[in-house]
């Protein structure tokens, strides 16, 4: 049985993992700062920092929506929780970055798990609406609980990243800190995705009844995935708080959740490198199109539409499990050794 | 033509010209404002007014030795975008001062960057009490609610209102509008029955009106913008709520009357800009704006016009070789600037503007000054 | 304890709910058949309102004529939307793609992209502020029923929702088109096997659903006096929530839940504050889903 009847992307030439990682690290920590310093200006560093924050957001959303198949429409809410935790801890208690960052992640993850517990038995679209509701509830709380969050006034003059007395003295140093956090987050997320845990999530995504019949504790898996994803969203929020120095509830509305979802989809649901590329694209593109002025949003919407139309599985879409299996079996019957069943 | 592709191209050309011509005596003022998104109609009005003021300035001789140019960037009234634009402006060495943004949240997000980099920022509408406290680089020429609130409270007290309810939009402006009014009203011996906040975007106020009606105040004070105001006034008429309505200057907008129709009659409001004001400065501005854009300018246009004017006066004071520092110092010295929104002076210590306010009402479908 | 103000609040809530219900009807029809969320429904609603408004300012015809023409505009928009955003994703016929979650999300996101582009385009053309509506057309004349106050708009919207529901019931259960729509809703592959033209049925669904959506748009626009390019976004989300709460494929269920959401909102304003109304509405949603995972009136759906 040939694989030609199944529409799928060709195999990407894969680099040996260690080399790929070293290359990425090189780009992130050396090439980018060098180029940006050369061109000069804090503006580009700011874009780069924002892009990395959204990379973390997209990658974390990819874990729950792409790999586990649970469409989440409230991701911005947890991003907001992380940002507010970091902002409140540092402005009210003078906590350093080393405290606010993990605290933001922990609180966001805890609230995510709490929220996941009652809703995990819901099927796809019901779960999506529940997450939408949760995201909106978080926004409304941030906006109206004025005594605690200062409501629409926002929190200003949030201290910069401060660790054991050291503070970044230039945009490049701030960028390097953010890049390190992003690199570590991506590494953790990729370890989670390329592991038995990740495979189990994919099984749940493709067919949760089957997965359950095979002995996987579906509810437990979903809760852990959701909690982990919210934790990283919180971390991204903490980074936002310390780099922008000002946060307000209107930055964490439903529209932002849709933004992040668009990044994951454009890059390819289920594919971690896809989520990264999608995030980079959708952060850098609006800036590059700034000169187009009033037509920016139309241009972005059209790009989203055409990328979905022409590349429905995303730029680096993860091949569907069924097509991979079919190819594997096909190979087995014809006796030839096939490519290993694995995911990039 | 609403679509300002021309404007975008001009902006791009100016930006290119601005950065390229830094050596030939071109002074660039950056202007961040919402040109797309929900607040785009405000941004357009700012741009129109600023363009008129700059043209007026050039027609009157301009500044010898320097060519002043405006560079507009669209912030969509989004703090994220405002930050990016702020960084963009700060990086451009030919930009010595910045006007904008529209809302306090966007202005404050940008302010953090201007404060760090040392760029003077003058906002025509940011009224958050903390805005000028961020650093010495922030200025604004709009009356804060700390002035308007007590003004309206005194007015209502004079008219015999002892019980009032407040309806305010849940954003930084609405919060300060409501609290300033409520404090002043209570200080005069009045009772505030309740302060009802509503989320931005709400257009259905019947639940709030019904809730207020139960407490039966004599008047309601509205801290909202003209779109919500129009819906509120219509629904008030629908439900037959008897309480009178007073409002802040944010309701001074011709569109309010067009949208609300006869329901708008009887609204009392404060304002610092009156197109019918016989003052020659005001009439000149109104005439020019009407000739070029076909409509009478509203208060927001007047604010932007004055902001641009204050910036130009400061530029002249700082001399043909302007730096960001010298511009900031010149702005801080603004005294009795004859603006269309009233004479403006920046307090030497707090940099808060001191202005004058008038009482107005809507009667027979028109705004008019009242006692 | 039921004093006149509380009763008025309930009436307020019901009229808010009717607005959501009006939009939920068309929305649920499309979702029920295609099993995809049509994020662009809010934009069809908005286009209906603008089309009606342009007609009114140009020719000032009687309200009924406006409604009829808006119905046609709505149908045309719906068909256009379907061709643009949904049909291209039906080109994959193999099983793997049909079952692939990525494909389903793709249609969701393509409708989202189309809605963004449409909204922004309308904003470019008309500006984002509220459009002026000739006073004579506003459906806001108050009507007193005892001590309670409603408007003629409330009655008109109520009447329209009843007419829509009845008409839909008739269409779905008494006509051939309705039969083919129900068949496709039940099983697209199966319907193809028995010779039903699924493309036509899907097109018909979109046409009908969008007709209803566009009419909802113009009626609500005249009722609230608010016609802006972003008017479809918030009611769209509430309609979506109402649909899910009601049990995806049940149109009457969606209507009832929409009414419930409206009343919950006004009661929240009465006892707490207007700012929290969304939170209460969503809390009800989550509570409902936790105790009724299929929605309140949902029939057992094949696993999504």
Residue A302 placed within a domain: yes
Q: CATH 3.40.50.2300 in chain B: give the residue spans.
A: 2-143+280-354, 145-271
Rounded Cα gap, residues C27 and C48, in angstroms: 14
Q: Which range, of B24-33, B307-316, C64-73, C252-261, averages the lowest pLDDT?
A: B24-33
Q: Which residue of A has its CA nearest to B135?
A: A157
Cβ neighbours of residue C295 closer than 8 Å, sequence gap 6 or more: A126, C244, C245, C246, C247, C248, C250, C253, C288, C289
pLDDT: which is higher, B36 or A8? B36
Q: Considering chain B, what is the average pLDDT of its residues? A: 84
Q: How much is the pLDDT for A7?
A: 39
Q: How much is the pLDDT for B305?
A: 92
Q: Which range, of A73-77, A251-255, B148-152, B366-370, averages the lowest pLDDT?
A: B366-370
Rounded Cα gap, residues C72 and C66, in angstroms: 10
Rounded Cα gap, residues B281 and B287, in angstroms: 10
Instruction: Give all strands (DSSP E) within chain C, no chain letters.
Output: 142-145, 148-151
| C102/A269 CB distance under 8 A | yes
Q: Which residue of B has its CA nearest to C151?
A: B238
Mean pLDDT of B79-87: 87
**In the predicted structure, residue B164 carries a pLDDT above the cut 60:** yes
Read off the pLDDT of residues C264-288 as tens digits, 9 standing for 90 and up. 998 888 888 888 888 888 888 888 8
CA neighbor of B293 nearest in space, from B46, B12, B33:
B46
**In the predicted structure, residue B173 carries a pLDDT above the cut 80:** yes
Our count of domains for chain A comes to: 1
For an interface test with C, give the residue of A9, A58, A70, A126 to mutate (most C CBs within 10 A). Answer: A126
| A41/B84 CB distance under 8 A | no
Q: How much is the pLDDT for C92?
A: 59
Enter the tokens of residue B98: 């910045």
Q: How much is the pLDDT for A310?
A: 67
Q: Which residue of C has its CA nearest to B230?
A: C225
Q: How much is the pLDDT for B24?
A: 52
CATH number for the domain spanning A70: value is 1.10.3470
Rounded Cα gap, residues A270 and C87, in angstroms: 24
* pTM beyond cutoff 0.90: no
pLDDT bracket for residue A294 (50, 70, 90):
low
User: Highest-confidence range of A76-85, A143-152, B5-14, C216-225, by mean pLDDT?
Assistant: A76-85
Rounded Cα gap, residues C102 and C97, in angstroms: 8
Q: How much is the pLDDT for B186?
A: 92
What are the two backbone dihedrals, phi and then psi, of residue B276, each rounded to the nearest 5 degrees?
A: -85, 0
Measured between CB atoms, which of C100, C237, C279 is closest to A137?
Answer: C279
Chain C contact present for B39, CB below 8 A: yes
pLDDT: which is higher, B31 or B349? B31
A159 CB-side CA count, 13 A: 20
Q: How much is the pLDDT for A242?
A: 92
**In the predicted structure, residue B36 carries a pLDDT above the cut 80:** no
Mean pLDDT of A311-324: 51
Residue A4 placed within a domain: no
Mean pLDDT of A255-274: 81
pLDDT bracket for residue A314 (50, 70, 90):
low
Q: Which residue of B has its CA nearest to C4?
A: B214
In this complex, which chains have at least 3 CB pairs below 8 Å with chain C?
A: A, B
Q: How much is the pLDDT for A342?
A: 41
C5 CB-side CA count, 13 A: 15
Q: How far apart are the first and last CA of chain C?
A: 45
Question: What is the CATH architecture of B2-143+280-354?
Answer: 3-Layer(aba) Sandwich (3.40)
- Produce one character per residue of A82-120: b if its CB has 16 or more CB atoms within 10 Å, e if not: bbbbbbbbbbeeebbbebbbebbbebbbebbbebbeebb
C195 phi-psi bin (left φ>0, alpha ψ -120 to 50, beta other) = left
Cβ neighbours of residue C196 closer than 8 Å, sequence gap 6 or more: C180, C183, C184
Rounded Cα gap, residues B54 and C2, in angstroms: 62
Rounded Cα gap, residues A252 and B79, in angstroms: 11
Q: How much is the pLDDT for B1?
A: 39
Rounded Cα gap, residues B325 and B123, in angstroms: 18
Enter the tokens of residue B84: 């990016």
pLDDT: which is higher, A85 or A66? A85
**In the predicted structure, residue A343 carries a pLDDT above the cut 70:** no
CB A12, CB A316: distance < 8 Å: yes
Q: How much is the pLDDT for A292?
A: 64
Q: Which residue ranges of chain C lie beneath pLDDT 70?
A: 1-2, 91-106, 298-304
* A-B contacts at Cβ under 8 angstroms: 97
Which residue is it, tokens 């990658």?
A: A59
**In the predicted structure, residue B278 carries a pLDDT above the cut 60:** yes
Parse chain C into domains and list their residue ranges. 23-232
What are the two backbone dihedrals, phi and then psi, of residue B165, each rounded to the nearest 5 degrees?
A: -115, 150
| C102/A71 CB distance under 8 A | no
CB A185, CB A59: distance < 8 Å: yes
Per this entry, what is the length of chain C? 304
pLDDT: which is higher, C298 or B206? B206
CA neighbor of B227 nearest in space, from B205, B198, B251, B243:
B251
Enter the tokens of residue B325: 């520092």
Q: How many other CB atoms are found less than 10 A from the CB of residue C173?
A: 10
| A323/C109 CB distance under 8 A | no
Three-state DSSP class for residue B163: strand
Q: What is the DSSP string of A38-49?
A: HH--HHHHHHHH
Q: How much is the pLDDT for A68?
A: 85
Rounded Cα gap, residues C35 and C248, in angstroms: 9
For an interface test with A, give the residue of B1, B30, B91, B195 to mutate (most A CBs within 10 A). Answer: B91
Rounded Cα gap, residues B233 and B215, in angstroms: 18
Rounded Cα gap, residues C253 and C261, in angstroms: 12
| C128/B210 CB distance under 8 A | no
**In the predicted structure, residue B22 carries a pLDDT above the cut 60:** no
Q: What is the DSSP string of A90-135?
A: HHHS---HHHHHHHHHHHHHHHHHHHHHHHTTS-HHHHHHHHHHHH
Q: Which residues of B touch C269 (CB under 8 A)?
A: 207-208, 211
Cβ neighbours of residue A121 closer than 8 Å, sequence gap 6 or more: A219, C293
Q: How much is the pLDDT for C304?
A: 40
Rounded Cα gap, residues B254 and C156, in angstroms: 30
Instruction: Answer whether the bond into residue B41 is a cis peptide, omega within 30°.
Output: no
Mean pLDDT of B19-31: 67
Q: How many other CB atoms are found less than 10 A from the CB of residue C1?
A: 3
Three-state DSSP class for residue C61: coil
Tell me what ipTM this predicted complex has: 0.83
Which residue is it, tokens 């011709």?
A: B254
In CATH terms, the fold of domain B145-271 is Rossmann fold (3.40.50)
pLDDT: which is higher, A87 or B366? A87
Radius of gyration of chain A (CA): 21
């Amino acid at each position: 049985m040939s694989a030609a009847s199944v529409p799928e992307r060709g195999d990407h030439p894969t680099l040996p993992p260690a080399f790929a990682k070293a290359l990425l690290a090189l780009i992130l920590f050396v090439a980018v700062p060098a180029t940006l310093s050369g061109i000069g200006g804090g503006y580009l560093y700011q874009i780069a920092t924002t892009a990395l924050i959204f990379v973390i957001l997209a990658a974390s959303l990819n874990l729950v929506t792409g790999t586990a198949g649970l469409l989440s429409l409230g991701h911005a809410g947890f991003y907001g929780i992380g940002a507010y935790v970091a902002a409140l801890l540092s402005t009210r208690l003078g906590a350093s970055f080393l405290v606010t960052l993990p605290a933001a992640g922990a609180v966001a993850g805890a609230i995510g798990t709490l929220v996941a517990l009652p809703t995990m038995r819901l099927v796809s679209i019901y779960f999506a609406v529940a997450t939408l509701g949760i995201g909106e509830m978080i926004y409304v709380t941030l906006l109206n609980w004025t005594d605690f969050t200062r409501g629409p006034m926002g929190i200003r003059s949030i201290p910069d990243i401060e660790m054991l007395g050291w503070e970044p003295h230039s945009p490049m140093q701030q960028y390097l800190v953010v890049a390190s956090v992003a690199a570590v987050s991506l590494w953790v997320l990729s370890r989670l995705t390329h592991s038995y845990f990740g495979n189990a999530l994919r099984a749940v995504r493709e067919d949760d009844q089957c997965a359950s019949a095979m002995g996987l504790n579906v509810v437990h898996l979903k809760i852990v995935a959701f909690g982990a994803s919210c934790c990283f969203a919180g971390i991204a929020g903490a980074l936002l708080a310390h780099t922008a120095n000002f946060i307000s509830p209107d930055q964490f509305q439903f529209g932002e959740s849709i933004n992040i979802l668009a990044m994951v989809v454009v890059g390819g649901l289920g594919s971690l490198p896809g989520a990264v590329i999608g995030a980079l694209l959708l952060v850098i593109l609006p800036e590059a199109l700034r000169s187009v002025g009033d037509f920016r949003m139309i241009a972005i919407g059209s790009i989203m539409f055409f990328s979905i139309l022409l590349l429905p599985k995303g730029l680096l879409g993860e091949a569907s499990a069924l097509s991979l299996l079919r190819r594997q079996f096909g190979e087995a019957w014809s006796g030839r050794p096939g490519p290993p069943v694995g995911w990039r | 033509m609403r679509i300002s592709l021309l404007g975008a191209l001009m902006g791009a050309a100016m930006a290119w010209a601005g950065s390229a011509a830094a050596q030939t005596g071109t002074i660039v003022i950056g202007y961040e404002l919402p040109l797309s998104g929900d607040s785009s109609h405000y941004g357009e009005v700012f741009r129109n007014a600023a363009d008129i003021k700059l043209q007026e300035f050039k027609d009157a001789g301009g500044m010898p030795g320097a060519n002043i140019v405006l560079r507009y960037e669209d912030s969509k009234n989004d703090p994220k975008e405002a930050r990016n634009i702020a960084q963009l402006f700060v990086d451009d060495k030919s930009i010595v001062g910045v006007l904008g943004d529209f809302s306090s949240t966007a202005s404050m997000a940008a302010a953090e960057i201007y404060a760090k980099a040392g760029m003077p920022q003058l906002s025509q509408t940011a009224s958050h009490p903390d805005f000028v406290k961020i650093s010495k680089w922030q200025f604004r020429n709009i009356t804060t609610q700390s002035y308007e609130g007590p003004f309206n409270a005194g007015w209502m007290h004079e008219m015999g209102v002892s019980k009032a309810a407040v309806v305010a939009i849940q954003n930084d402006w609405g919060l300060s509008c409501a609290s300033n009014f409520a404090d002043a009203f209570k200080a005069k011996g009045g009772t505030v029955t309740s302060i009802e906040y509503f989320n931005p975007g709400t257009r259905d106020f019947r639940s709030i009106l019904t809730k207020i009606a139960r407490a039966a105040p004599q008047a309601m004070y509205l801290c909202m913008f003209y779109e919500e105001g129009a819906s509120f006034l219509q629904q008030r008429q629908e439900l037959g709520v008897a309480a009178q309505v007073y409002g802040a200057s944010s309701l001074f907008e011709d569109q309010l009357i067009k949208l609300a129709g006869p329901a708008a009659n009887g609204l009392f409001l404060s304002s610092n800009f009156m197109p019918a004001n016989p003052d020659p400065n005001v009439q000149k501005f109104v005439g020019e704006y009407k000739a070029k854009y076909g409509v009478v300018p509203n208060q927001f246009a007047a604010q932007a016009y004055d902001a641009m004017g204050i910036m130009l006066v400061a530029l002249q004071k700082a001399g043909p070789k302007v730096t960001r520092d010298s511009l900031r110092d010149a702005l801080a010295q603004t005294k009795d600037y004859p603006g269309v929104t009233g004479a403006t002076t920046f307090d030497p210590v707090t940099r808060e503007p001191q202005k004058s306010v008038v009482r107005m009402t809507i009667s027979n479908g028109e705004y008019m000054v009242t006692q | 304890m039921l004093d006149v103000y509380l009763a008025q609040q309930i009436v307020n809530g019901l009229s808010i709910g009717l607005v959501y219900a009006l939009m939920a009807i068309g929305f649920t029809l499309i979702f029920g058949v295609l099993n995809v969320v049509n994020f662009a429904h809010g934009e069809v609603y908005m286009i209906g309102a603008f089309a009606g408004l342009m007609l009114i300012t140009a020719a000032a015809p009687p309200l009924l004529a406006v409604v009829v023409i808006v119905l046609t505009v709505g149908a045309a928009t719906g068909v256009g939307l379907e061709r643009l955003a949904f049909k291209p994703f039906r080109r994959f016929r193999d099983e793997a793609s049909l079952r692939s979650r990525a494909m389903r999300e793709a249609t969701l996101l393509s409708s989202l992209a189309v809605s963004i582009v449409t909204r922004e385009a309308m904003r470019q053309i008309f500006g984002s502020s509220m459009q002026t509506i000739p006073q004579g057309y506003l459906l806001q004349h108050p009507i007193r029923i005892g001590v309670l106050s409603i408007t003629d708009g409330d009655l008109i919207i109520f009447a329209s929702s009843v007419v829509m529901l009845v008409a839909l019931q008739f269409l779905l259960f008494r006509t051939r088109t309705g039969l083919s729509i129900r068949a496709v809703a039940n099983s697209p592959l199966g319907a193809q096997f028995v010779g039903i033209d699924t493309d036509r049925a899907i097109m018909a669904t979109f046409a009908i659903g969008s007709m209803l959506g566009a009419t909802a748009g113009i009626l609500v626009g005249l009722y609230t006096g608010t016609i802006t390019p972003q008017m479809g976004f918030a009611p769209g989300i509430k309609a979506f929530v109402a649909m899910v709460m009601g049990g995806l494929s049940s149109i009457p269920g969606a209507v009832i839940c929409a009414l419930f959401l409206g009343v919950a909102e006004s009661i929240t304003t009465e006892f707490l504050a207007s700012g929290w109304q969304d939170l209460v509405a969503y809390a009800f949603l989550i509570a409902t889903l936790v105790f009724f995972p299929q929605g309140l009136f949902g029939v057992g759906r094949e696993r999504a």
